[in-house]
């Protein structure tokens, strides 16, 4: 069943933080809600993407494929309420990771092309969304995992690295 989210739901989404109720009403017109069961793929790495997605309720994992086998994947993030995935739909059309529901999950979908048009028509909305997207990307780059392949071994480091860990990376 597809439903439309409430303004209260939209207020809980980090990407929309700072938008007025009037602006949220405009964004709401581009939204729908969908449900995913445990283990179900929400989006797949490499696929074309037309929507930006937000976890409304539940939990999802973000997974990437490990070369050379497309069968091997690692979880690089876990997202919960209000967090965005498939944000790349705003800037490109190909997904760089897969996202899988861990538990029964309600996902809010926003038509990316229509959101971009709205951002162009209403520059303040565009500014707020892109500023918040920059904060999301920055947060994920600095607080999550650094994944490196060294001698065909997968090594994960939590950020921020201390000096001795950074030196060991060079060796």
**Per-residue confidence (pLDDT) for residue 74, from 0 to 100:** 81
- 103, 59 contact by CB (below 8 A): yes
User: What are the strands, taking DSSP E only, across 51-138?
Assistant: 51-57, 60-65, 73-79, 84-85, 98-101, 105-111
Helix count (H) and strand count (E) of the chain? 5, 10
- 161: in domain: no
Domain tally for the chain?
A: 1
Least confident of 2-6, 46-50, 59-63, 140-144: 140-144
Q: How far apart are CA 35 and CA 15, in angstroms?
A: 20
7-55: pLDDT as tens digits: 999 999 999 999 999 999 999 999 999 999 999 999 998 889 899 999 9
- Residue 164 belongs to some domain of the structure: no
Share of the chain above pLDDT 90, in %: 53
Domain membership of residue 151 (yes or no) is: no
**pLDDT averaged over the chain?**
82
Domain assignment present for 92: yes
Domain holding 117, by residue range, is: 7-143
List the CATH number of the domain containing 40.
2.60.120.10
Identify the CA nearest to 23 among candidates 134, 122, 108, 110: 122
Residue 41 lies in a domain: yes
Closest CA to 42 of 29, 56, 28: 56
Q: What is the mean pLDDT of residues 86-90?
A: 89
Binned at pLDDT 50, 70 and 90, residue 56 comes out as very high
Residue 164: per-residue pLDDT: 45
Kindly state whether residue 59 falls inside one of the protein's structural domains. Answer: yes
DSSP labels for 22-54? HHHHHHHTTEEEEEE-TT-EEE-TTSB--EEEE
Contact 56/9 with Cβ under 8 angstroms? yes
pLDDT at 143: 56
pLDDT of residue 91: 85
Domain membership of residue 163 (yes or no) is no
* DSSP code at position 3: B
Q: How confident is the model at residue 154 (pLDDT cuts 50, 70, 90)?
A: low
pLDDT for the residue numbered 165: 45
Residue 22 maps to a domain: yes
- The pLDDT of residue 92 is 81
Cβ(114)–Cβ(88) below 8 Å? no
């Amino acid at each position: 069943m597809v439903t439309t989210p409430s303004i209260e739901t939209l207020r809980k989404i980090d990407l929309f933080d700072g938008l007025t109720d009037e602006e949220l009403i405009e964004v709401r017109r581009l939204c729908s809600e969908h449900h995913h069961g445990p283990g179900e793929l929400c989006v797949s790495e490499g696929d074309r993407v037309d929507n930006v997605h937000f976890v409304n309720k539940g939990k999802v994992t973000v997974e990437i494929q490990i070369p050379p086998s497309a069968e091997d994947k690692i979880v690089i993030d876990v997202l919960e309420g209000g967090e965005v995935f498939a944000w790349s739909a705003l800037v490109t059309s190909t997904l760089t990771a897969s996202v899988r529901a861990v538990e029964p999950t309600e996902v809010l979908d926003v038509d990316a092309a229509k959101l971009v048009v709205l951002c162009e028509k209403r520059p303040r909305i565009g500014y707020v969304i892109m500023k918040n997207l920059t904060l999301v990307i920055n947060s994920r780059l600095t607080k999550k995992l650094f994944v490196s392949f060294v001698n065909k071994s997968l090594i994960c480091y939590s950020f921020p690295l201390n000096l001795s860990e950074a030196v060991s990376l060079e060796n």
